[in-house]
Structure 1
Amino acid sequence: MKKQNNQIRLRFIAISASILFAFSSLAQTNEVTIDRIIAKVDNYIILKSELERAYLDFLSRGQLRGSNAKCGILQQLVVNKMLMAQSEIDSIYVDDAEVDLNLDRRMAAIAQQFGGESEIERAYGKSIEQIRSEIFDNIKEQLTIQRMQSELTSSMKVTPSEVKKFFRAFPQDSLPYFSTEVSLAQIVKEADPGKTQKDKVRNLLLDLRGRIENGESFGALAKRYSQDPGSAANGGQLGFYSRGELAPEYEAASLSMEPGGLSMPIETQFGYHLIQLQEKRGNTYKTRHILISPQPDQNDYTKAENYLDSIRNLIVLDSIKFESAAKDYSDDQLTSSAGGFFQDESGALRVSAETLDPNIFFTIDTMKIGTITKPIRFQKEDGSYAFRIIYYKNKIAPHQANLIDDYQKIAAATLAQKKNNKISEWFEKARGNVFIEIDSEYDYCNITK
């Protein structure tokens, strides 16, 4: 029973850990390890360095070291490779465009933490493009595994009785202790570039178009002017894409040209593109582009601030509820669907005060419960600026986990355990149908038995 409780506790703690960035594979260490293959799962391999990195991350999160822990991690790596093999059988794939979008978000978040892309390059001794290239396959595998796990567990739910049973399995002295938590919401308004700024970008692209027609290198101009982080360094090259993979406006313009043709400036959600079609091959096409995104000017920022202030006035006058206004008007996709509320990993509409952005923390530190700020300008992760109003709904004092205050957290942990059990059951059934070979060094783990 003690061993079972420890396993449950580890799973409960793990629910609060976010998905790791793949940057750990780039980290430099002083320890020299001769890498080798330690496991094979069908056509997939697991390297010793892969296991060691995962184990170091496990320890960095405060977990206990030991051979059993390393065995558990190795088994999880084997399960991941089995899920990859099963994804091929079930024709479940993640396309490159989705991986690129995921990479963009991760790179933007990392750049925010490091203080810019140049600091990332300095830290790892590699260009951004090299870093993206090296972790691309890792991210694609993560997304594929998540999709396969979802296929196996997406229909699973937990009942209140299951949640209570899960919670009661904990010894009282092992229950997690939660620090101060706050319930707060935001409505974000981004400044949309107006006609003046859009015209500047269109005119610049028209100028570049003329220069290319007069003999200047498209690739050289893309490297100099394009704001697409994924292709600028490669002269704007995007490679081959199938129909439906790129923005509809981009695709329509590309397919309307003959190879070698240059488009007029084309607007998509990302900005304005100057496109050159290079080749058509069946249902795929190859292009390169120069992307420039219009930036708001002061008039645009003032307009956004005034608009958000008018929404705040309606909320204060009780003409509209904050939650409804957030869903209808907020430009922040992460919080708008939850009525503007910040959520923790379990989906609870409150977060630890320790995890708050410092600017938000110091803002609410001067607020009274139930109040709403005036519009505040802030810098987003991608470096752009926007405005937000913050609603400080509630504050929860530090406390030990209980079913009343923390039901959503406990329910999420219960569901996570249930899904883990489902994956474990699938592994037990499926491993007999898959070729698995484990290095003899890890025989004591009994993974294939």
Structure 2
Amino acid sequence: MKKYAGIFALLMLYLGTLSAQEVKVIDKVAAVVGGSIILQSDIEMQYAQYLSEGNNPDPSVRCLILEQLLTNKLLTQQAVIDSIEVGEDEVDDNINNRLRYMTQRAGGQEQLEKFLNRSLLQYKEEMRPAVKEQLIAERMQASITEKTGITPQEVKRYFENIPSDSLPNYNTEVEVGELVVFPSLTKEEKQPFYDRAESLRMGIKAGDDFGTMARLYSQDPGSASAGGDLGFFDRSSMVKQFTAIAFRLKPGEISNVFETEYGYHFMQVLERRGEQVRARHILIGTKPTATSMERAKGHIDSIYQQVKESKLPFSTAASLYSDNEMSKYNGGMMLNAENQQSRTTYIPVDRLDAKDFAAIDTLKAGEYSRPFEFSDPQTQKTGYRFLYLKSRTEPHKASLEQDYAKVKELAEEDKLNRVVSEWFERRRKTTYIRMDDEYLTCPELKEWVKEDTTATAQANNE
């Protein structure tokens, strides 16, 4: 059943924050799953969050929330049997990531605490049990499907079983390559940014508060509002230069100013926990000068001419000269952002950035756009790029030959859903499940209760 595929994304949404409103309800046991109980207050807190996001009141949402909680309980109970656990450092990291995101959206820690009607420290401890249970449930579901593969024969069988009038229609899709050049600053051009970072570092060494300085001056949008706090991270989570320094510092120690692709940083390690470090930092991003932009424009114009005149293959030029680390090792080809896992290069034209669409709209397959100035949406760095239109696929009804990668993805999703659904069906039959009468008529929960129980509830309502 497809609903299980999205059950955790929905639950994560509801667990994101708790409403600052006080939930006034006489608590009761809403459901029992094996040896675990789900309280009405658990449901009400998540329903309050649903309302706090601007949604209209809808009592039926409580049915969905309860179904999500029931699902979680089954998974976590099996996880105990299978010895599936998550470490406290992983829970901390997840909570810290959430709090950074929440703090950023709220406009700062003070505003967030006002909304929550509690301190972040208190809220963090309140979140911990639910977050830990969620992480265990996710890991348990992953273990259920980890050995599930799909063969070409299964893909073919899946496609052949789709009624012809139900075959998906695909709009125009394109394969687009990019070659990106960002301006490179000289040592002299970088010096003012280094000096700014060093001035802040010396001020902190002299007594300025690190968190306050980060909130005021750091240019890292993901951590500035949290006082520069990055939470716990391992050696694979950050860029190489950052990680090397973070794992060399002792708790409390402040680094010298150092450079990464994002600009100049300095950091302070707050805690060490095994192979994870919690640190905070201040970033002063570098900005291109007019002269450096002129140099970058001349460089990309030269590359463009070589590629256009067939003196250098586009894929070779991208691997040698492109500054986009995501695409240069893929022959310069851009991936469909909505299907990164399948690594498909076919992108619906309505998913292209407006500037990119304008650049390739009049091109024929095999042609290149002129270099143009752009701003990277991830790093906000300004540079130049030109695009290569490799292919353009006209609107069509799905076919196995033309759309094998997409059909395979659909077949895999269908098989995973069936595997998970069958697992839940077996577990429900062997697990004691009882629900309060209030929920027995929920359409979403019919599969969770015995037929005689449902019949009794309907009779009572009549």
Task: Work out whether the TM-score is over 0.5.
Answer: yes
Tell whether 2:87 aligns with 1:90.
Answer: no
Gaps of 5+ in 1: 1-6, 58-66, 108-116
Residues 1:27 and 1:90: Cα distance change in structure 2 (over 3 Å): closer
Cα gap change, 1:166 to 1:179, in 2 (>3 Å): same
User: Aligned to 1:359, which of 349, 355, 361?
Assistant: 355
Contact 1:253 1:263 in 2 (8 A): no
- Provide the residue aligned with 1:342 in structure 2: 335
Residues in 2 aligned to 1:354 and 1:309: alpha-carbon distance in whole angstroms: 28
Residue of structure 2 in register with 1:251 after alignment: 246
Question: How far off is 1:267 after superposition?
Answer: 3.4
Give the alignment's TM-score, normalised by structure 1: 0.69
Tell me, in whole angstroms, the C-alpha distance in 2 between the residues paired with 1:21 and 1:189: 41
Question: CA separation of 1:239/1:378 partners in 2, compared to 1, >3 Å: closer, same or farther?
Answer: closer
Match of 1:372 among 368, 371, 390: 368
**Closer, same or farther: CA 372–238 of 1 in aligned 2, 3 Å:** closer
1:371 CA displacement: 0.5
- Residue matched to 2:454: none
Instruction: Give the conservation status (yes or no) of the 8 Å contact 2:269–2:278.
Output: yes
Residues 224 and 165 (structure 1), Cα distance of their counterparts in 2 relative to 1, 3 Å cut: same
The whole-number CA distance in structure 2 between the counterparts of 1:298 and 1:21 is: 48
Q: Work out whether residues 103 and 139 of structure 1, in 8 Å CA contact, stay in contact via their aligned partners in 2.
A: no
Q: 1:201 aligns with which of 183, 193, 218?
A: 193
Counterparts of 1:175 and 1:298, CA distance in 2: 53
What per-residue deviation string (whole Å, max 9, x for no partner) do you get for residues 239-272 of structure 1?
67788877433324522xx84x543213345543
Partner of 1:425: 422
Of residues 398-407 and 228-237 in structure 1, the stretch that sits farther from structure 2 once superposed is 228-237
Tell me the distance in 1 between the aligned counterparts of 2:73 and 2:365.
49
Q: Please report how far the alpha carbon of residue 358 of structure 1 lies from its aligned counterpart in structure 2 after TM superposition.
A: 1.5
Matched, 1:187 2:179: yes
Question: How far has the Cα of 1:417 moved from its partner?
Answer: 0.8
Moved more, 363-372 or 41-50: 41-50
> How far apart are the structure 2 equivalents of 1:407 and 1:52?
44
CA distance in 2, matches of 1:180, 1:163: 23
Deviations 1:167-212 (A, max 9, x none): 2222222222222222222233334444234322322233233333
Contact conserved, 2:247 with 2:277, CA < 8 A, in 1?
Answer: no
Query: Which of 123, 147, 151 matches 1:159?
Result: 151
Over the aligned positions, Cα root-mean-square deviation in angstroms equals 5.1
The AA in structure 1 aligned to 2:202 is: G
Q: Does structure 2 retain, via aligned residues, the 8 Å contact 1:271–1:291? A: yes
Q: How many angstroms apart in 2 are the aligned matches of 1:280 and 1:159? A: 45
CA contact (8 A) 1:241 1:286 kept: yes
C-alpha contact 1:51 1:74 (8 A) present in aligned 2: no
Larger radius of gyration: 2
What CA distance in whole angstroms lies between the structure 2 residues aligned with 1:146 and 1:327? 37
What are structure 2's unaligned runs of at least 5 residues? 54-59, 451-462
How far apart are 1:361 and its partner, in Å?
Answer: 1.7
Could you say if the C-alpha distance between residues 53 and 279 of structure 1 is closer, same or farther in structure 2, counting changes exceeding 3 Å? closer
Shift of 1:274: 3.1
Deviation at 1:412?
Answer: 0.7
Where does residue 267 of structure 1 map in the other structure? Answer: 259
The 1:385–1:437 alpha-carbon spacing in structure 2 relative to 1, beyond 3 Å, is farther
The Cα offsets for residues 261-305 of structure 1, whole Å up to 9 and x where unpaired, read as 543213345543334456778988765443323233333333444
Most deviating of 136-145 and 353-362 = 136-145
Alpha-carbon contact 1:129-1:230 (below 8 Å) kept:
no
CA distance in 1 between partners of 2:134 and 2:324 (Å): 25
Q: In 2, are the aligned partners of 1:240 and 1:286 still within 8 Å (CA)?
A: yes
Change in 2 beyond 3 A, CA 1:70/1:200? same
SS in 2 for 1:254: coil
Q: Is the 8 A contact 1:186 1:335 kept in 2?
A: yes
2:406 is equivalent to residue 409 of structure 1: yes
The answer to whether the 8 Å contact 2:43/2:65 transfers is: no
Stretch moving more, 158-167 or 231-240: 231-240
Query: TM-score, normalised to structure 2's length?
Result: 0.67
Query: Per the alignment, in what secondary structure is the counterpart of residue 446 of structure 1?
Result: helix
SS in 2 for 1:47: helix
Q: Give the aligned residue type for 2:447.
A: N
Whether 2:209 is the aligned partner of 1:212: answer no
Q: CA deviation at 1:418?
A: 0.9
Deviates more, 1:187-196 or 1:412-421: 187-196
- How far apart are residue 374 of structure 1 and its match? 2.5
Q: Report SS of the residue matched to 2:287.
A: coil
Q: Which one of 291, 304, 317 corresponds to residue 299 of structure 1?
A: 291
Matches within 5 A, 1:387-406: 387-406=384-403
CA offsets per residue over residues 78-104 of structure 1, 9 Å max, x none?
Answer: 435544565673234646557867998
